[in-house]
C-alpha cells in the first residue's frame, strides 16, 4: 500500500527468492521426492523407511492470530505424546515439526514448502486461518503430500486439490446457522454486517450469513468493512448505528473483535453481537471486557459440554498445560494429528498417495470435537455449537447438527 512496504517486499523477495531456489534445488537432488510424482515409490513422500515418521505443522505461532497456532500446536503435541507412549504408528515413533508462518499467507506457503522439501514430512497439518491454508494448499497438492487443516472453514481451501482435507465444518453451514440463530432463536429481524475485507474467511462467512438471513425474511441494514490490524472502527460503526440494526454480525478474528465491541458500545450501539469461530480466544474477552458480554459465536466445541470424551480431554490438557482450559483450536489440533496418524496406520505406508486415500476413506473417526467423516469434497460433516459470552466465560447455548 505504500512505497515503504513495497520496498520491504522487494527486499523480502530478494532475500527469500534465492533461498527458495536453493531449497528447491536441494529438494530435486534428494531423489525427486514430491516434484516427480510416481517416481520411485520407496522415496516418494520423502521420509526414510526407518526412524521417526515426520509430520509437519505450519502454524501462526506469532503474529495476529498467534493464539490459534499456539493452541493448535499444544493440542497436536499432546496427541503426539499419547501416540508415542502407545508405541507410535507402523512400529515407528511420530515426530511433529512446527514451522511458524507469523500469521502471514506468504509465509504459510514458504513454511509448507520448507517442511516438504527440507524436513521431508509425510503429511502436513495447518493452517487455522483460511487465507493461509489457501496460500499453502497448492504447494502440498503439487508435492502430493496430504494437507489437513484443523479449522479453516472457507470452502475454497479443499477446492485447491484432492490432497487437501479439513476436519471442521465449512462457512456456508456456519453462516447459515448463525443467521438462523439470530432470526429464530433470538427473534431479531434486522442485522448489520461488519466484515474484515482482507480475510477470505470473513468475506465468505458474511456472504453466507446474508444469504440465509435475507431468505428467512430479515433485513440487512448495513454492510461495512474493516481491514485486519485496524484499531479505529468508529467511522464505520457510527454509520452502522444510524441504521439501527438489532444484530451486529462480525465474522472476524479475535484480534479485532474485542476492540469493535468496545467502540460499538462507546457509540451507544446496543445491537447483539454475533460472530464465527474466529472469535475463539481468551483475547476476545480480555480486550472486549464488559462490551462483549452477551455476544454469541459459533464454535467447534464447548468446554462446559458434559460429554465424557470432552471432559476427559480437558483434564488431560489441563494436566499438561498448567490448568489452562483448552480452546477449540487445541481440541482440533489434537484431533487433526490423531486423524493423520490413524490414516497413516490404515494406509500401512508413509507414501503421500496412500495416506491421501486413507484420509479420504475416513468414516466415523472418534474425535474430541465430534465424530469425523470425510465427505466427497474432503470436508468433515460435524455438529456446531453456539456459545454465549457471559461473565467473561463461554457458556454453551445451542448445538446444531448438520
Partner 1 sequence: MTEFLQQLINGVAWGSIYALIALGYTMVYGVLRLINFAHGDVYMVGAMAGFYLTRWLGWGGQADSLHFILILLASMLICGLLGFIIERAAYRPLRNRSKLTALITAIGVSLLLENGGQVIFGADPKFFPTLIENKPIFQSGGLIITNIQLIIIVVSLVLMTALQYVIFQTKTGRAMRAVSFSHDASRLMGIDIDAVISWTFVVGSMLAAAAGILVGLSNPKIEPLMGLLPGLKAFVAAVLGGVGNIPGAVLGALILGISETMVSGYLSSTYRDAIAFVLLVVILLFKPAGLLGKAVPEKV
243 three-state secondary structure: coil
| Residue in the structure block whose three cell numbers are 433485513 | 219
Residue from 155, 218, 258, 326 touching partner 1 (CB under 8 A): that is: 258
Task: Give residues 30-89 in contact with partner 1 (rule: CB under 8 A).
Answer: 62-64, 66-67
Please give the span between the terminal C-alpha atoms of the chain, in angstroms, as a whole number.
41
Please report how close the Cβ of residue 7 comes to partner 1 at its closest, in angstroms: 8
Measured from the CB atom, the residue of 207 and 381 that comes closer to partner 1 is 207
Taking CB under 8 A as the binding criterion, the range among 158-166, 218-226, 308-316, 334-342 that sits at the site for partner 1 is: 218-226
Instruction: Looking at 252-327, list the stretches that DSSP marks H as alpha helix, in order from N- to C-terminal side.
Output: 254-266, 282-288, 308-320
Answer yes or no whether residue 1 interacts with partner 1 by CB under 8 A. Answer: yes
Please report how close the Cβ of residue 362 comes to partner 1 at its closest, in angstroms: 33
Backbone angles phi, psi at 318, to 5 degrees: -60, -40
Please report how close the Cβ of residue 185 comes to partner 1 at its closest, in angstroms: 29
Measured from the CB atom, the residue of 267 and 272 that comes closer to partner 1 is 267
- The distance from CA 175 to its chain's CA centroid, rounded to whole angstroms, is 16
Q: Build a one-symbol-per-residue string for 86-125: x at contacts with partner 1 by CB under 8 A, - elsewhere.
A: ----------------xx----------------------
Is residue 210 a contact partner of residue 220, using CB atoms and an 8 Å limit?
yes
Answer yes or no whether residue 283 interacts with partner 1 by CB under 8 A. Answer: yes
Is residue 165 a contact partner of residue 146, using CB atoms and an 8 Å limit?
yes
Give CA–CA dist 349/359, Å, rounded. Answer: 12
Instruction: Give 146-200 as a DSSP string.
Output: -EEESS---GGGGGG-TTEEESS--HHHHHHHHHHIIIIIS---EEEEEEETT-H
Please report how close the Cβ of residue 354 comes to partner 1 at its closest, in angstroms: 38
Measured from the CB atom, the residue of 227 and 371 that comes closer to partner 1 is 227
Answer yes or no whether residue 234 interacts with partner 1 by CB under 8 A. Answer: yes
Parallel, antiparallel, or unpaired for β 219-226 and 247-249? unpaired
Answer yes or no whether residue 197 interacts with partner 1 by CB under 8 A. Answer: yes
56 three-state secondary structure: strand
Measured from the CB atom, the residue of 71 and 154 that comes closer to partner 1 is 71
Taking CB under 8 A as the binding criterion, the range among 82-90, 227-235, 300-308, 364-372 that sits at the site for partner 1 is: 227-235
Is residue 102 a contact partner of residue 69, using CB atoms and an 8 Å limit?
no
Residue (of 89, 34, 156) closest to 340 by Cα position: 89
Q: Build a one-symbol-per-residue string for 290-329: x at contacts with partner 1 by CB under 8 A, - elsewhere.
A: ----------------------------------------
Answer yes or no whether residue 224 interacts with partner 1 by CB under 8 A. Answer: yes
All three cell numbers of 323, joined, read: 490448568
Residue from 159, 232, 312, 375 touching partner 1 (CB under 8 A): that is: 232
Instruction: To the nearest 10°, report the CA torsion of 329, 335, 340, 343.
Output: -160
Measured from the CB atom, the residue of 95 and 293 that comes closer to partner 1 is 293
Instruction: To the nearest 10°, report the CA torsion of 146, 207, 249, 240.
Output: 140
Measured from the CB atom, the residue of 23 and 225 that comes closer to partner 1 is 225
Please report how close the Cβ of residue 291 comes to partner 1 at its closest, in angstroms: 9
Contacting residues toward partner 1, per CB under 8 A: 1-2, 4, 62-64, 66-67, 102-103, 197, 224-227, 229-232, 234-236, 238-239, 241-242, 255, 258-259, 262-263, 266-268, 283, 286-287, 289
Amino acid at each position: 500500500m505504500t512505497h515503504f512496504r513495497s520496498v520491504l517486499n522487494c527486499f523480502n523477495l530478494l532475500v527469500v527468492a534465492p533461498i527458495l531456489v536453493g531449497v528447491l534445488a536441494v529438494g530435486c537432488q534428494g531423489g525427486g521426492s514430491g516434484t516427480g510424482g510416481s517416481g520411485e515409490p520407496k522415496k516418494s513422500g520423502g521420509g526414510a523407511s526407518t526412524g521417526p515418521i515426520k509430520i509437519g505443522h505450519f502454524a501462526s505461532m506469532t503474529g495476529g492470530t498467534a493464539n490459534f497456532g499456539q493452541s493448535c500446536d499444544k493440542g497436536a503435541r499432546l496427541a503426539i505424546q499419547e501416540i508415542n507412549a502407545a508405541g507410535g504408528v507402523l512400529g515407528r515413533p511420530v515426530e511433529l515439526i512446527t514451522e511458524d508462518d507469523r500469521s502471514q499467507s506468504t509465509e504459510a506457503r514458504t513454511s509448507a514448502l520448507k517442511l516438504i522439501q527440507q524436513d521431508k514430512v509425510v503429511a502436513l497439518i495447518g493452517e487455522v486461518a483460511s487465507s493461509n491454508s489457501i496460500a499453502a494448499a497448492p504447494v502440498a497438492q503439487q508435492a502430493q503430500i496430504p494437507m489437513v487443516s484443523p479449522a479453516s472453514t472457507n470452502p475454497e481451501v479443499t477446492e485447491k486439490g484432492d490432497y487437501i482435507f479439513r476436519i471442521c465444518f465449512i462457512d456456508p453451514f456456519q453462516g447459515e446457522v448463525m443467521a438462523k440463530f439470530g432470526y429464530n432463536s433470538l427473534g431479531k429481524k434486522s442485522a448489520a454486517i461488519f466484515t474484515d475485507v482482507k480475510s477470505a474467511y470473513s468475506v465468505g462467512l458474511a456472504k453466507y450469513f446474508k444469504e440465509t438471513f435475507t431468505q428467512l425474511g430479515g433485513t440487512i441494514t448495513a454492510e461495512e468493512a474493516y481491514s485486519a490490524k485496524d484499531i479505529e472502527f468508529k467511522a464505520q460503526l457510527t454509520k452502522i448505528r444510524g441504521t439501527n440494526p438489532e444484530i451486529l454480525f462480525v465474522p472476524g478474528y479475535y484480534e479485532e473483535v474485542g476492540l469493535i465491541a468496545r467502540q460499538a458500545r462507546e457509540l451507544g450501539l446496543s445491537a447483539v453481537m454475533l460472530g464465527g469461530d474466529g472469535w475463539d480466544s481468551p483475547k476476545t474477552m480480555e480486550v472486549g471486557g464488559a462490551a462483549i458480554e452477551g455476544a454469541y459465536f459459533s464454535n467447534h466445541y464447548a468446554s462446559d459440554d458434559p460429554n465424557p470424551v470432552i471432559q476427559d480431554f480437558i483434564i488431560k490438557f489441563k494436566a499438561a498445560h498448567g490448568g489452562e482450559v483448552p480452546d477449540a483450536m487445541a481440541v482440533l489440533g489434537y484431533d487433526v494429528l490423531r486423524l493423520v496418524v490413524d490414516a497413516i496406520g490404515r494406509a500401512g505406508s508413509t507414501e503421500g498417495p496412500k495416506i491421501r486415500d486413507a484420509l479420504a476413506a475416513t468414516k466415523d473417526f472418534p474425535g474430541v470435537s465430534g465424530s469425523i467423516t470425510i465427505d466427497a469434497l474432503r470436508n468433515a460433516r460435524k455438529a456446531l455449537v453456539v456459545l454465549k459470552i457471559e461473565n467473561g466465560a463461554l457458556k454453551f447455548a445451542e448445538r446444531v447438527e448438520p
